[in-house]
A and B are shown apart, each in its own frame.
Chain A
């Protein structure tokens, strides 16, 4: 669409700008302020330079949380994106069952995140939960509150349950927007199902897949509530991801300086990774 240049359009954007600026800029400035200052209480602050950032780099605990976070996000993406794509490809395109499928699949997305945690907690309890009881009955010792491997398995399974539908819905939306003529042409050429997928469906899905990967990256990198309810970051600190670590430091310890430095680095990692991924995807498109 050819748009006209008109700076009066700012008046329409202004309310949104005001609310988001109030919500985003003021807190961010607070965080930046804290990150370069030292406090001994009584609202007295002293300039401390980059000392909190240096400590952050040397802090093994945070480095471990970051490692766990990257591992978790990688596992979540590697399972959810291919699985979601496969399910979307197998779904019917027309008919009364489409709505039923979509509504049932969207349901996990609408469950409050702490209820997701509670739900899987009840589900995975070794003696009275359906999942825990079943696994133990198969002869595998399973207790997610004691065993780090079982805890990871449960957290990943919970995240797959919670978020794969988002990838399915996005991919499905992309698939139904491909015109029938493409498939007819492929049929005339005698294309095999794999060729149809590789040369027709996948290129058309690139846009929605980019959005899906971006959203899943951001949200899995910020995961907090589900894990804190399910495992509390345990056993030990086996499932202590970045947000859990940060909330413990900021609200538990009230170590304002270190927590603020942590916040800034955390936010920057998400922003930079998203930007890099987006730019790379779009550059390929341009070529």
Chain B
């Protein structure tokens, strides 16, 4: 079953690549604006041999990892505090729903004014965008706590910390992990967007330079890199999810079937 899936996945990718080669060659679109796969692949190999590419990749990953880490840490802390302290959830609900839909990209002028074109302006956007993904999941996760389990723990004399650790946390964890997985993808998108628009060092800025330099195959090669990065991050997040939730029904179920 697993082998077949991998085969189908590879076949889908091969068809996509073949289409990318055929469409410009057949003249459906101009090769000058959409180069065939083979030329993009050539530019991709050139990129891999360029030291500046690797440092740009490092910059992007640094922004992504720092931003995601901050957002996850803050999201979990804030989420648990808001849920545990009485009435806080009700008091903050409207504020959260107001702040959450503000697109991170709208904060770009603010980020530039505060931090210029450095890593910190990328972090501002990344953290803002991914924080809500985690926070909302934590809030839902905490809400899902079984009242009977909670009451039982309480009657056995477990304190607040012990109840958070043994009742609340295991219940919320699947939600938290989902939030982290969503946030990981959002953080990557925002890191690259910030670099692209602001010009902070990284893959995004490199794409922008290729774009303004009329270096079309190089631009697509870099876009392919960002796609691959997203793919890797998703695979990594799923693997981490399976490890962290090995005990959970959803993951155990996958294995036995």
The judgment on whether A and B are partners is no
B binding-site residues for A, Cβ under 8 Å: none
